[in-house]
Structure 1
Amino acid sequence: MNPDQWHRVQSLFKELVDLDQDTRIERLESVKTEDPLLFEELMSLLAADSDDTSLIDGFAIDQLDISQLIDHEGEQIGPFLIAKTIGSGGMGSVYLAHRVEGGFDQTVALKLIKIGMGSEQAIRRFESERKILARLQHPHIARLVDGGMTGKDHPWFAMEYVEGENLLTYCDRLNLSIEKRLELFLDVTEAVQYAHKNLVVHRDLKPGNIMVTGDDSKPLVKLLDFGISQIMDESEADQAGIKAMTRAYASPEQLNGESTSTATDIYSLGVILHQLISGSHPKEEFRSRNSHPKPFDKELAAICEKAMQNDSSGRFQNASDFGEEIDAWLKNRPVSSYSVKPMYRFNKWMKRNRAASLIGIFAFIALAAVVLLYTNELQKETERAQQEAETSEQIAGFLQGLFELTDPALSRGDTLTAFTMLDRGAEQIEEDLQNDPEILARMYDVLAEAYLNLWNTEKAEEIYKKSLAIKQDIYENDHNEIANSFHNIGHIYVQDGHFEQGDSLLTAALQIRRSTLDPNDPAIGLTLQRLGFLKLRTGQIDQAEELYTEALRIFETGTDNQSVMEAASLVNSLGMIHENRGEYEKAVSNYREAVETLRAIEGDDHPRVINYLSNLGYSLNLLGKSEEAEPYIAEAIEVAKQVRGERHPHTALAMNEYANFYFSQGEYENAEIMFREILDIYIETFGEEHPAIPVIYNNLGNTRNNLGDFEAALEYHQYALDRRIELYGDIHSETAQSFANLATTFSDMERYEEALEYYNKALDIEVQVYGELHPETAYSYEAIGNVYKYMGQMNEAEQNYLKGYEILLEVLGEEHIETENARERLVELYEETGQDEKRDAFLGN
């Protein structure tokens, strides 16, 4: 369509729109006969004119953008030369343009009013946008550069050209953490607050109007498009006829055609925030197919909910208040949109001031008194059945927060006092909640977890089982609370080496959780993680990897800190898989990622950092990079001392890794010194009867053995064996380890018959615990082969070497270092015995 044809259409349209229905039909018939194409164009325009969603009341002809019919490329507007079209909005088309006058280079986004929108009202709105931009000078708002009238008296203005991505696309591309997303969103609230202070309401806030530009390391938010903004000191009459909006982000008052205000922008910001955090629009009608919001933090959900209140008076008073709530969440301060209850604010304070809140035992006792007082209050409140569930949930959360303080990381290692306070709390709860079994069971769970924080698995197991007994009386067998108990007790069984019992309970917990919860529920992920650890401990490497990978997928769907932390834990666990397969480079990569992720969201002093650093150092040492490994192992101890205290068992665990490092480097004296210090910490913390004690005696036995003090080594190993039999019985992996270590010392003493006896005892147990196809079983065959070789019984040595090699080949693969070692033993045996044909056949020559 050329300009003459367009003027013809325009003239006929304005003629037809004023005619009555009958006369209009008659006139259209004549046009149809004269020019069928012209008739079709007119019918389209008349249909558009009757559409309620037109931008400005008046002629539809004024809203048709025929700018696309006219090529402006190469045309100069003011001091700018148009390069190309980059967008088309409600009233104007936007072009990329370059300054050609003024003596300096400048690229702008130049906006021209659409051809055809020549009504006074349209021009007035276009000029209003220019006036609005002129009064807004803010680093997060695209600024006005220039403006004027074309030679044809069409208004234009040039804005700062913002090259980048919209907020959602940018955050998703970089997979930004929830904290980084919120920091960018705070820049948006700051820009909106500035506009509101300058009496401007945007009225079309949406992701497409919020751009992120600049380098990814220093992103800059820019707010665009004030085309339908309202200046608050204008009368409603000045705003009449404006119906433009983006429905997905429009407030209820906009959709209803009512007056707008700053609260309109607050609503739109709430929708954007929800989408930014959850990955999906809060309203199903505006979501893409198969898109569902990811679960996110309850406090952030409350902020979104307040911003999106249907009643504008229920929203935040201004954008600044909105931003302050987000800032409060980022700084772990109370979020008033979520709760104003004293206990909630108290818990927030506790999390921010852990060290200050636990200066002495008197503070702890005072807190315990609050717990008991609040428990009594709970008993009274449970009489009101309607509020029972909510109240018990609140009290459980409050007690969880308090009993976390029994962790010596927070109570300066005062474990005796912590145990005493927990015991007293358990007695009081049992006394006060006998008539409320549901809540009593929940309190037992809280207490048991507190004992776990103190590494007392025996007491934790006892209390978890009390909780389970109550739940089995009041719930059906497939209730999720039953699954919770199965998960908790199964976890303890795995920690204590009772793998068969642990497997049974964790599998049952997983079945219930899968049948009652959403497939991406974190609870399912946690049980998968525990089962993965069990499979790893029992040598079922492939199954462990499958379970860890599925759990990781679940936690990667979450955006809250806890999900990110659990994902980091699973990356660390997958590092253990690689380590077990001898893929040390991959293991190191996983451990590094786990450390960096956890530190990014929790800082350098989170307890899990201790384990991840130790693992990283250990794998580097396995790679032969001992100089690079040692600083990480040493750093793990320093973090442990800072977070847990000098005499905490977690610190001792990190020290154990350092002692093992010394051992691997042949520095047996240094290893022994550290093992003895670890033993002192464990005995001081747990007493002589704890399962950790024989582990250290075992390590001391290995150290003495390598120093040539065989008699002392036998004493240490025999003590460890006796304690393990008392703890676990005759058939247990720990018991097998002690038998094997005693056998090693006997072998080094050349007491070969005794060595064979003890190695075979270890082998029998391992076959029962792990099965024939397991690396530990293979290692015993290899060790037995060594003893027969020392005794000169080469046939028996060969048979055992072959059994061990075949198992390792099947379980670990041909390229694993342990498989290669087993292959070399056989080759050496064949060479020493002159069996060249067997050697060649074995090597495939």
Structure 2
Amino acid sequence: MHSVPVLDRAADAPAHQWDLPNYTLIRELGRGGMGVVWLAERALEDARQPVALKRIAQTQWSEDGLRRFQRERRILAALDHPNIAALVDGGTDAHGVAYIATQYVDGERIDRWCQQHQLGVRERVRLLRAVAAAVAHAHARLVVHRDLKPANILVTADGVPKLLDFGIARTLHEEAVTTEGPSQMTLRYAAPEQVESEGADVGVSVDVYALGVLLYELLAHSSPYGEASGPAALVQAILHDDPAPPSRLHSVLPGVDADLDAICLKALRKRPDDRYAGAADLLADLDRWLRRDAVEARRGERGYRLRSFVRQRWPWLAAACIGAAAIGYHLHAQQRQLQEAERQRDKAQALAGHFSSLFEEARPADTERGEVSARELLERSVARLQADAQQPPATRAALLLASAEALEYLGQIASAQESAAAALRLAQGVTPPDGDLLAEAHSELASVLDKRGDGEGALREIDAGLALFAQGQASRPQLRVVLLQQRAMAADDAGDREAARAGYEEVVRVAGAALHEPDALGSYLAAQVNLATNAMQADPAAAAARLREALRKAREQGFEAPRTLLPMRAYLGGALLALGRADEAQAVLEPLLAEARAHYGADDPWLGLILNLTGNAAAHNAQFARADALLAESARVTERNFGAEHPNTRASEADRALLSVLAGDWPEALRRLDAMLGWLEAGGRGDSLLAQHLHAARAYVRARQRPEDASLRAALRETIGGIERWNGRQRVLCMRWLAWAGSAP
């Protein structure tokens, strides 16, 4: 391995010597093995944002250290959850020193927060439940944190826990195919397999174990290892000693019952296979405890289900004085619920097992480093699942849907469609019918069909999914919100603005009524953004105002999810462009573009859109060379995602034609305009508003080539017609052209 040259002055320099544009370093927050973390302020166009700025340490300035630092940035970019401190920015400073900027969390360690606020058992369980949800989100994206501990979980003044520091996190496929030096794990929260293997080749079970230690400590005010404190004593306890049930300790909080004992001890079992299959399963059991339902950790205990049932319903049972027959009926209903819970658990375990085995099979060195890409592994997954007749259809369908979503996120749309279609076929044959699984399959297939330009096919799938809710066969609220959002967007794409607006308003109403749910705020904000984009052409000023208000609300609520906030800012830039305020638009879009490159990578469709908007802003500000480069890059990104003939790809080419008009390159403008008009005619869109606008642009170019010819000016005025029929950027350009022709309104 060749070492990267050490940058002594940059690495050792005090804060004032670090040259990082748009950042002001305030004070040091902490130091670790990988680097130094500072509280900093990031300058935005009209505000200053506090961030936690992590810079790689001089001792880590090697190819290996830089690779680990870049991996942390990639991992954070893939995570988007309200209980995870979000990635804000990343890159290198003027000295070439790598940095990562994340949301700054002004909070207290979770254990100290609970003590200071004297939280009871249920409040503590709810707090850890939110942390488990964040870890489950990471696991669903194949990320293992590996260093869960109180210092990495801060609780804000509003009582919201935030998970920090993915510095030693790994993706599951990296765990399966790479090896590194000793782990920087914290011993007190390490799982037995981490201690035995020094952190190498571990899976999601290590995070489950650490969550178990955290839960134990929050409930018992004591470590599961008792008085053990030195490294040797801790290793002995971790590997060999079974912790006492927390309810038996003198320091335990009132209200810790046998169910919580069982949950803690299941998470803390020595063998990974004996623990919960993942954080999602632990989360589900915590939710059952909060609902006073039977917990999976005690499944199989004689008489437990009946005792749990009676405990949950004793007031109703006593008041009704029901007899044995009624008890039998309700026990039957309870059994159905338990069977459904077990089916969901089995699906989750199958998901974890399927992907773990898939990654293990990737060990052979089929590339120089023995690594294969996530895309290749997912495509193998789809092929295997379609051929596997041993797994139950519902499990195979769930696994195929997970693969489809991941492939779609990676931009592999054709493979995602194959996986989603196979999942739908399997879901249709599940007995007894699983309406939620079927609706989810319709939704995912609709999403990939839309990305392939098949709007009619997408709409059929959306309507089929919504019909399941109307018929009472599906019931998951958040899934219904997703389908409603897709239905409104389909109407928008079809040009039915009124239907789209009504659809978005329904999403706002449904999601707004459930803002207490974990994902509801994101859905609510997304619907507000869609309402803004729906109004973009007719009333860009109203759209800009709605977007600014949505961004303000997101800041107030501490909402930091880049996948929602980056598109919101992009649409704000588009609204400002439509208002003819290109300088303001570019001030919004240029910093956004840098963040989008870091967050999305080189081939994401959202990057294509942001490149397009930034290019148009540069064009309207007479930065023609930069505009052409950005629009050309946008066309390439969009073509890689959707194909050369997709309307989105052609839209970038249309913008390049209009750029040539703005730049005054009349021959190139005519060449590009004629090519676009020919494509629209061939596709039966020769009468579309876009085609009419390009004809107006062509008339303008002809008139500019022969300014002395009054008939060409008259032809331009006739082609444009009434200015009221144009909206947005088209209106801005038409007004310019009419002004030149001497007939500006």
Alignment TM-score, normalising by the size of structure 2: 0.49
Higher RCO (CA < 8 A, seq sep 6+): 2
Between structure 1 and structure 2, the one with the greater Rg is 1
